[in-house]
Structure 1
Amino acid sequence: MYTIIDIETTGNGIKGNRITEIAIFKYDGSQIVDEYTTLVNPECPIPYFITGLTGIDDQMVQHAPTFSEIAQDILNITEGCVFVAHSVNFDYGVIKEEFRQIGIDFTRKKLCTVRLSRKLIPGLASYSLGKLCTAVRIPLTDRHRARGDAHATALLFEKLLGEPEAEAVFKKFLNARSQEATLPPHLPKSVFDKIPPKPGIYYFKNQKGEIIYVGKAINLKKRVLGHFYDKSAKEIQLCSETADIDFKLSGSELVALLMESAEIKRLFPPYNRAQKRTVRQYAIFNYEDRNGIQHLAYNTIKGVPNPLKVFYNQTDCRSYLETLCKEFSLCPRFCHLQQTNAACSHHEITTCEGICRGDEPVAAYNKKVEEAIAHLKEGASEIKIIKEKGRTADENAVVLIAEGMYRGYGFIDKDTSIGTLDDIEAFITPQKNTVETESILTAYLLKNSEKIYTSPVT
């Protein structure tokens, strides 16, 4: 038994989207045996553009029942039935959310007539309800009203059941392990099946083949599936436009982050918001106070005249300064890691030799600060090579940083001998050094010192 359902709502998305009309046709596999149609009071204003599309306005639903008042009717007519809709995840998601808000868990098996149509009636230019009905000569009246669209979907569903391969296709789609009901309506399952559970980047493409989103993941398959389960308005819209997915393996999360950053900068996909925003920068700097003591401190980049080292979040900046303080036995108070006018008493840094208590000569302390500054400047001129996992067991991924600048990444067979910088650069795909790549690498370098090779080439 099936229930073919269509709803009209107050807008796109799932959460915050309320039903204004619902139509349900109960179908036993050969004929319609029951029908339920009603306007619904959404208990919120209906936007003008929705009224323009559906004709449903606030006055029409003023005296209509609320969803909580019709909930039992919906439960009764759909009980024991497969939930069928055109782009089923939208209708099912909105109804499930309405039930959740009144404390009821609504769960039904699902079938999507878009996905079924793409499988059983391949080769059409469009699978929107209107164009699909025109293509297969199904009458569609009262468009963008729940009963009109639901009735057309019921006629389409009947036609799909009569297709030669229908039995096998329906059985496959209803298999809980097939994930057919979870995938976007225009995405072939064969495309999703090719995505491996490995690190890399992925590209969502629309029906024109245009890239609309780029993402990265440690597990590509799991992350892509996460988009399909996410019921935020942005994700629903993204998935509704997705017709193809491509991917590239990276071997590691670090290389995936760098690859993703480069592709977003190159392509500027419409659904990528990250890396289009301004990143707030912080910097370490030094100054001398009225007592002749050299201080190390940090601030936003705008407040630093001569930055010694730049970071892209406050946590990394402070963490690096703490490491410097420990390594050169500096005072937390004079590194601005502890706000006090008394002697320092930092919970973690205990290497201070007494400058804050008057036990250490100013000249001796300043010399240590100068050594720390020299260390900072020396690090900026070094060649750093990061070695990470490759895409296969036979290779390594390498990331090249020279003179403080990100140069690119590459993949090298484990049995290849590397002796000079030129040897490494032959395998490197050159990349731009950007605010985002510096932020990614700064955070990585702070946490993964064992994977960094400093000045190994001549």
Structure 2
Amino acid sequence: MYAILDIETTGGKYNEEGITEIAIYKFDGHKIVDQFSSLVNPERPIQPFVVNLTGINNEMLRQAPKFYEVAKRIIEITEDCIMVAHNALFDNRILTTEFDRLGYQFERETLCTVELAKKLMPDMPSYSLGKLVRSLGIPLSDRHRAQGDAKATVALFKMLLAKDTSKEIITETLQKDPKRLIEPKLLDIIENTPSEMGVYYMHNDDGKVIYIGKSKNIKKRLTQHFTSDNRKSKKIQAEVKSVTFEKTGNELISLLKECEEIKQTKPKYNRSLRQTLFSHQLTSFVDAAGYINLKIEKADGRKMAITTFSNYQQAKSSLFKITEANQFCQKLTGLQTSGKTCFNYKLKECYGACIGKEPVAEYNNRVKAFLEKNSFENQNMLIIDRGRDIEERSVILIENGSYKGYGFYNLNHQINNPEILKSIINPMQNNRNVQHIIQNYLRKNKVLKTVKLPSDKVS
């Protein structure tokens, strides 16, 4: 069964868009068996270019239901379905983001009609939905409206199924319906696990932990383990006798627990987290002119790192974003080595530190502000995020730049009282891997809030 959908959004910053309209057609491979469509009040303004594109404006959405009012219907109509969309990555990301805001883990397998069309119809002049369906003679009314685009995607997908003579789509669909492939013992294990965020532990006959993992959806991840046919998965499937789990409420706690417990327990089928998780780091130095420079280096435990990166490409990409966001000089961040001035100076996005034009003190103040915000050195702080249920919050304690552990709380006075705070924190080992996990996560994801603490709060 397929849920073929289209979503219109407000536009705006990545992962901050809101849904303005959604249409979903439940399709059994032959005909539409159910459907749902609705305007949605995104509770944020629509970008002007989107208004021009879709014709949907803020006034039209004033009385429309908000996302939480249609969420249950979306879950019902997509349940046990593979989601199909034209550029499915986008639609899936938007839906996942909206459900994340409600504290619900929404996960569906997806198929993308752009990718399928490129594979099955490789010589089309364009793969945008409008041009592609026009080339194929498929009618499309209300372009850039959810219902019109979703209906056209149904017709396109039906045509792709017919063109798929080698049955790759059907094969992939069956592979994504894994219950039919799992033996009863493993199905029983899966049935007793939640579709929630957490860390899971696979045990053998003797109760010994043979594998530790983390997932946003434990049930789905175990299903993947138990249907995979690679050598390691086959060994685990033969040996596992039970699975226990701990809910964490958010991914950062899952990552930290997984890292700590693999190092402590050393399960036989865990390998990757026994090594260092990062290869490069960001450091700083003062040049002959007095400017603070930033520099990407290979990871070196003898040097103090501002932050660490999984690989060089991630480090370089992040440094470009850091340089742009803070209007640093590309020559002083090591991103440009040739020329008298840096490229950003020509774009008026650098104030001229590359040629000594910007006063040293002014430039260094911006760098120091960045360092204070992003380096854990000597910092005392709490990282607050979602807990294991709607009334609970998680807290991570950083004391004098060291990770001390995590805990969960329900009342604000629990983290505002130093003695109680200490008692609810589960002590954990501080090392460069966990510091990398925390900094890397904060760089890529939003948490509910971070709270800087005065030294007397944690001493």
TM category, shorter: 0.5 to 0.7
Change (3 A) 1:391 1:308: closer
Q: Secondary structure at the match of 1:418?
A: helix
Matches within 5 A, 1:36-51: none
What do the CA deviations read for 1:407-455 (whole angstroms, capped 9, x no partner)? 1111112475532333322211111112321221011121345533232
Tell me, what secondary structure is at the counterpart of 2:249? Answer: coil
Cα deviation for residue 403 of structure 1 reads 1.8
Q: Tell me the SS of whatever aligns to 1:380.
A: coil
Change (3 A) 1:421 1:326: farther
Deviation sequence 1:171-222 (CA, Å, 0-9, x none):
xxxxxx9947503x7x364433110111111111112222111111110100
Change (3 A) 1:214 1:347: farther
Question: Any unmatched runs of 5+ in structure 2?
Answer: 1-165, 172-176
2:130 matched residue in structure 1: none
- Give the distance between the partners of 2:181 and 2:427, measured in 1 at CA: 42
Q: CA 1:270 to 1:182, structure 2 compared with 1: closer, same or farther past 3 Å?
A: same
Match of 1:397 in 2: 394
Per-residue CA distance 1:382-426 (angstroms, 9 max, x = gap): 222122221122211111122221111111124755323333222
Write the mapping of 1:244-323 to structure 2, written as runs, cut at 5 A: 244-289=242-287, 293-302=291-300, 306-313=303-310, 314=312, 317-318=315-316, 321-322=319-320
Q: From the superposition, tell whether residues 350 and 454 of structure 1 become closer, same or farther in structure 2 (CA, over 3 Å).
A: farther
User: Is 2:419 aligned against 1:422?
Assistant: yes
Cα offset for 1:380? 2.0
Q: Give the equivalent residue in structure 2 for 1:441.
A: 438
Q: With the length of structure 1 as denominator, give the TM-score of the two structures.
A: 0.54
The answer to whether 1:237 aligns with 2:235 is: yes
* CA-to-aligned-CA distance 1:220-273 (integer Å, 9 cap, x gap): 100000011111111111111111111111111111111111211111000001
Corresponding residue SS for 1:248:
strand
The corresponding residue for 1:182 is 182
Cα 1:401/1:350, change in 2 over 3 Å:
farther
CA contact (8 A) 1:280 1:300 kept: no
CA RMSD of aligned residues (A): 3.5
TM-score by length of 2: 0.54
Q: Is the 8 A contact 1:301 1:307 kept in 2?
A: no
Q: Residue in 2 aligned with 1:68? A: none
Q: Partner residue of 1:451?
A: 448
Task: Map residues 364-403 of structure 1 onto 2, 5 A cutoff.
Answer: 364=361, 367-368=364-365, 371-372=368-369, 375=372, 379-403=376-400
Alpha-carbon distance change, 340 to 452 in structure 1, aligned in 2, over 3 angstroms: farther
Per the alignment, residue 212 of structure 1 pairs with 210
Structure 1, unaligned runs of 5 or more: 1-102, 109-176
Write the letter of the residue equivalent to 2:448.
Answer: K
Deviations 1:89-124 (A, max 9, x none): xxxxxxxxxxxxxx899x99xxxxxxxxxxxxxxxx
Q: Describe the shift of the 1:360–1:305 C-alpha distance in structure 2 as closer, same or farther (beyond 3 A).
A: farther
User: Is the contact made by 2:306 and 2:375 (CA closer than 8 Å) also made in structure 1?
Assistant: no
Cα distance change on mapping 1:284 and 1:188 into 2, 3 Å? closer
Query: Number of aligned pairs?
Result: 283
Shift of 1:364: 4.4
d(CA) in 2 for partners of 1:369 and 1:242?
A: 54
Residue deviations 1:287-315 (CA, integer Å, cap 9, x gap): 4555565432121134x974352414245
Q: 1:347 to 1:281 in 2, by over 3 A?
A: farther
Structure 1 counterpart SS, 2:396: strand
Maintained 8 Å contact 2:328/2:350: yes
1:227 to 214, 225, 228: 225
| Whole-Å separation in 2 of the counterparts to 1:244 and 1:217 | 17
Q: Using the alignment, how far apart are the partners of 1:245 and 1:329 within structure 2? A: 50
Q: How far apart, in 1, do the equivalents of 2:282 and 2:186 lie? A: 51
Aligned residue type for 2:390: A
Q: Residues of 1 paired with 2:303 and 2:432: CA distance?
A: 18
- Aligned-residue sequence identity (percent) comes to 26
| 1:294–1:219 CA distance, 2 compared to 1 (3 A) | closer
1:413 is matched by which residue type in structure 2?
Answer: N
Aligned CA distance change for structure 1 residues 319 and 438 (closer, same or farther; 3 Å): farther
Alpha-carbon distance between aligned partners in 2 of 1:442 and 1:321, rounded to the nearest angstrom: 14
Partner Cα distance (2:355, 2:219) in 1: 58
Is 1:326–1:349's contact at 8 Å kept on the other side of the alignment? no
Distance 1:341 1:288, change over 3 A: farther
Could you say which structure has the larger radius of gyration?
A: 1
Partner deviation per Cα, 1:107-162 (whole Å, 9 max, x = no partner): 99xxxxxxxxxxxxxxxxxxxxxxxxxxxxxxxxxxxxxxxxxxxxxxxxxxxxxx
Q: Partner amino acid for 2:232? A: K
Change (3 A) 1:200 1:373: closer
Cα deviation, residue 351, structure 1: 3.3
Matches within 5 A, 1:50-129: none
Distance in 2 between residues matched to 1:286 and 1:357, nearest whole Å: 19
